[in-house]
Structure 1
Amino acid sequence: MANIWTIMIYELRRLMKSRSMVLNMFLLPLVLIFLLGASLSGVMGDQPTPTIDKVRVAIVNLSAKGIDGSAMISEFLRNAEVRQMVVPVETDNRQAAESGLRSGKYGYAVVIPADFDSRVQSGGEAKLEFILGKNPTDNLVVETVFDNYLSTVNYRQAAAVTLGPAVLSAAAPVAAETASVKLGELGEKGTGYTSSQYYAVSMMLMFLLYSGLTVSTSLFNEKENHTLFRINSMPVKGSQLFIGKMLGVGAVTVLQNAAIIILTHLLFGVHWGDQPLLLALFCLLMIVASMMLSIIISMFSKTGAGARSVVSVLTVCMTFISGGMVPLPESFVNSIGAFTLNHWAMQAILRMMLHADVSTIMPHLGTMALICLVMISIAVAAYRKVGYHE
């Protein structure tokens, strides 16, 4: 056991002394996350939420008494919630309203029948005439506001017909009790993530896959520098050297992983969810899986360059297929992407960011654990068959 710890500490010192290694493992991931998150924010749709501008609405009362000619409409338009979206402007007649719509002076027009109040108070249906403007968004906003009002009035009228005239007083006047229009996003309840979150996960997992490349490089350096023969002449077993190197690289990778999570949160505001222990477990499983994959490849490769090439190609391919480079269709990611290592960890971490229920994440954890067990078994079998020697 002492030999394993000695080899691990030596490996740690060797890796941390290399400036290029430190830059590639700690600085490069942060740079990539920043660049991808900033440049591809439009792809993920995390743009600032737009605002609703107030719409100037021409009000035409056919009773020739202006807005005040209808007590119900006048009461409705004085409501604070309605005023946040509609600016009522009294006009003399329909022609003036239509002229203002054509010139862009008004965004919408509402024509109030002369008998609107009396019809409603006698139990009739509430109707208004709408004249659309040039802007579809303004039309939608104003239609929603007035349609909500008319629906409320007519609902109360139907109740009055059913329950009797005693409830007619509830229909007049009617004010907007709640906001008629609310601007929001489908993802604001935890169903969407930003580009910075997405690429923080994908780049972190890609660099965890690259940690296997460090293991492969370290193992072949001993062979290529002809130091493995001298180590084997000492009272050190090949398995001890093997395990010590893996632990050393694993410790550095854990530091790299923690640095990515902490620094992206502090610098870029990336929220990693509220399950830190579960997040750490997925990262640990990803490190184990990537190292086992690299070891299996190294056992059957004749040269270090060949092993590094295979690991690099597999890392890039798995990152792309799992949607790590650019968001891909779910049908593709969930079919072909499911055969990659980082797919299961990536989908689970993204769900953690969205505060998904733990029960939806546990299947991913079970799959990752099974993958690690299978790869550990293959790596052990490969070591027993091939061994680690010059």
Structure 2
Amino acid sequence: MKSLLVAWKDFRIRITDRRGFLTMILMPLLLTAILGSALEKSMGGQDVPNTTLAYYQMDEDSLANEFRNTVLKNKELRDSIQLKEVLSKEELQRLIQDGKADVGLVLPSRWSEKIEKGDFTDTILLADPGKEVQATIIESMVHSFMKRAYIMFVAADVTIRDFAGAEPVMTGQVDMQVASADIIRKIEDIQGVTVQEEAVGEKVVSSMQYYAAGMGVMFILFNATIGAKMIMTERATETLARLLRTPTTISDILLGKFLGTLLFSGTQFFLFVVVTHYGFGVAWGDNMAQIIAVGLAYIVCVSGLSMTLAAFVHSEKTADMINGVGIQLFALLGGSMLPIYAFSDTMKTVSNIAPNKWALTGLLEVMGGTSWMNILLPISVLVIVGMLSFTLGIWRLRVR
């Protein structure tokens, strides 16, 4: 009972911090609206006539490899596009001249670096006269992919920079107007750009759905550091010491801290789902029980991590650094900013350390109309990590 009183006290402090609370709700809604709207059309939905494409890639750039493997070799386009990979630009030109290829595509070296700078000029497209339709479609696919990648670079850069240079989210000092204006200014001339929509269950998940889930899990992750900072602050101001002079045990206090983060994170998740559903038309899935299960597992994980951080991080400055930079790195690694399918195989494996990756995967599965069996793994991982983190944090804090 006493732990519930401690939890309610922490929840009231955070819920009545109007600027901090609105930041935690409005910022993910803002980014969801920007990214989801900018990426609302899929480049995979064009009716492509039979095309023989000669393809030359100057180096093993990771983004160029991703374009070749996930777009040009997409199973849905396999019957329409016959890909002929060549070893030089001269060989590519000969294929076009001899009529053995309809369209030729040359990707420059360091393609990803050029796209990150907004330089789309070095990509070369050659076409056989009379094959304008095929050339136009291939050009559209290339430009759509480049602009999509550019938006990802811009959104990631602006978000990281704004958070790293801002006061902690808990203080409500993040300037959402400046952040949104910066993103919009850089992408306002880019149209028709999207992540490639793939079915994860019975239904295709749209870009708005993807970024709703991605932004939601990213901002809930901030509660891990905010919850830890509340414990550090109360320790520094001797609030915890005064609580211990009452008939309240250390176990009651620590359990209350855990439950307080759990309650706030749950409220944030619930409000975000409701607002995005009715405000943006985001379909979170037909099975509400599955949504609740994934959401509950994730907030248990985040609340447990807050206890571990409080136990092992001694400085509020270190917590601020984790809040401003560390969480954003997890966001990028876990697919909240850049879709996981664009990662290399190695990075896909490394991304498993990010808790938001498991939550995002579970939510996308639910949106796609999956079965309980397919979300059992992410739910189990999140609950296990949360319980282990909670146990480790409680043990360490009791010792300290």
Question: TM-score, normalized by length of structure 2?
Answer: 0.58
Given the superposition, is the C-alpha separation of residues 368 and 231 from structure 1 closer, same or farther in structure 2, using an over 3 Å criterion? closer
Partner of 2:372: 358
Partner of 2:42: 46
CA contact (8 A) 1:216 1:308 kept: no
Distance 2:360 2:387 in 1: 19
Q: Which has the higher contact order (CA 8 A, sep 6+)?
A: 2
Aligned-partner residue type, residue 283 of structure 1: G
Superposition CA RMSD, Å: 3.0
Higher deviation after alignment, 224-233 or 346-355:
224-233
Distance 2:219 2:230 in 1: 17
Partner of 2:382: 368
Aligned-partner residue type, residue 15 of structure 1: R
Compute the displacement of 1:268 (Å): 1.0
Q: Is 1:198 aligned with 2:198?
A: no
Distance 1:5 1:323 in 2: 35
Distance 1:229 1:380 in 2: 17
Partner of 1:287: 299
Higher deviation after alignment, 217-226 or 328-337:
328-337
Given the superposition, is the C-alpha separation of residues 277 and 224 from structure 1 closer, same or farther in structure 2, using an over 3 Å criterion? same
**How many pairs are equivalent?**
259
Given the superposition, is the C-alpha separation of residues 380 and 224 from structure 1 closer, same or farther in structure 2, using an over 3 Å criterion? closer
Mapping of residues 214-233 of structure 1, within 5 Å: 214-233=226-245
Mapping of residues 135-284 of structure 1, within 5 Å: 136=133, 190=202, 192-284=204-296
Aligned-partner residue type, residue 262 of structure 1: V
Larger Rg: 1
Given the superposition, is the C-alpha separation of residues 227 and 361 from structure 1 closer, same or farther in structure 2, using an over 3 Å criterion? closer
Distance 1:261 1:308 in 2: 27
Q: Deviations for 1:303-356, whole angstroms, at most 9, x for unmatched residues?
A: 222223234433211111122111233625531111211112211211111112
Q: Is 1:10 aligned with 2:9?
A: yes
Distance 2:381 2:246 in 1: 41
Distance 1:31 1:294 in 2: 25
Mapping of residues 301-340 of structure 1, within 5 Å: 301-327=313-339, 328-329=342-343, 331-332=345-346, 334-340=348-354
CA contact (8 A) 2:42 2:197 kept: no
Given the superposition, is the C-alpha separation of residues 324 and 375 from structure 1 closer, same or farther in structure 2, using an over 3 Å criterion? same
Alignment partner of 1:347 out of 349, 361, 377: 361
Compute the displacement of 1:246 (Å): 2.5
CA contact (8 A) 2:197 2:205 kept: no
Distance 1:207 1:186 in 2: 23
Partner of 1:164: none
Q: Deviations for 1:96-130, whole angstroms, at most 9, x for unmatched residues?
A: xxxxxxxxxxxxxxxxxxxxxxxxxxxxxxxxxxx
CA contact (8 A) 2:209 2:283 kept: yes
CA contact (8 A) 1:272 1:352 kept: yes
Question: TM-score, normalized by length of structure 1?
Answer: 0.59
Structure 2 residues without counterparts, runs of 5 or longer = 49-128, 138-195
Specify the SS of the correspondent of 1:32. Answer: helix
Specify the SS of the correspondent of 2:304. Answer: helix
Aligned-partner residue type, residue 352 of structure 2: A
CA contact (8 A) 2:290 2:372 kept: no
Compute the displacement of 1:241 (Å): 1.9
Aligned-partner residue type, residue 371 of structure 1: V
Partner of 1:26: 25
Distance 1:377 1:242 in 2: 11
Distance 2:202 2:392 in 1: 39
Compute the displacement of 1:289 (Å): 1.3
Compute the displacement of 1:374 (Å): 2.5
Distance 1:266 1:232 in 2: 45
CA contact (8 A) 2:32 2:211 kept: yes
